[in-house]
Amino acid sequence: MNRRSPSLDPVQAARWIRRRHPTAPGVGIVLGSGFGPIAEAIPDACTIPYSEIPGFPVGGVKGHSGQLILGRWHGIEVAVLAGRAHFYEGFDMSTVTFSTRVLAALGIRDLLLTNAAGGIRRGLKPGDFVAISDHINFLGTNPLRGPLATGRERFVDMTAAYDPELRSRMLRVAKNLGMRIREGVYLAVSGPSFETPAEIRAFRTLGADVVGMSTVPEAIVARQCGMRVAGLSCITNVAAGLAGPNQSLSHGEVLDVAREVAPRATRLVEAWIQG
């Protein structure tokens, strides 16, 4: 099934949102599993269900509430996407990244992409955070494939896909909070099955530190739109084959660890927002 949003210019969706909340946000945050409570930390927020926004995809994965939250957080105007549409749900890439283009149309300059991920690098354990320094696209496709978005470049430089200044800030605030954090390379697979031990060994050989099923399409489109990108992974499980022959993986385990980590994740992103 090829799930597509109704044909709509992201600028039109952004105009619709501005009628509900006219203040222009400067920072965008996409909340993955484990980061959901951040949406509740923003005072006096304007909350809009994705189902009400023209053209917005509505995913169905547990742990993703499907709401746009707009408000002022520690003096910064923010737009928070509480959940995302995933490629593995059957959405095409233009739909997966539609919300990213809407954020660009709203005027977002800096975008923080968060996710739950499996740890590949030795020493990473559930509850750790990884500031994404680069990525490997193993999705089998690219979100820029197809018709060129109006006013955008076809060939986008990804040399510094994840902004060094934004990443340095994340590392600094994590250290100040006494939180364990690493820098690392995120590898994206299409899912929804978890990886095999052989695949994990191959990914480690390629230089991947963490693996997940999101983030990369949004990062690519955000760079095409001129946004600075930061990425933050919460390690919710050790990748397949690294915890012994009797290891098994489940989405329930991912959500359990994400719930435990959520208060620390909220403090970390809150500190990052404040700089």
Q: Which residues are catalytic?
A: 33, 64, 86, 88-89, 116, 213-214, 237, 251
Q: What is the CA radius of gyration of the chain?
A: 17
Report residue 39 as tokens.
């949406």
Query: Is the distance from CB of 44 to CB of 71 less than 8 angstroms?
Result: yes
Report residue 65 as tokens.
């509430």
Distance between CA 253 and CA 261 in Å, rounded? 12
Report residue 255 as tokens.
């959500």
Query: Is the distance from CB of 117 to CB of 236 less than 8 angstroms?
Result: yes
Q: Spell out the long-range contacts of 47-52 with Cβ–Cβ below 8 A and sequence spacing 24 or more.
A: 48/17, 48/20, 48/21, 50/83, 50/99
Compute how many other C-beta atoms are within 10 angstroms of the C-beta atom of residue 210.
Answer: 29
Report residue 231 as tokens.
């990425």
**Which residue shows structure tokens 């923010």?**
78
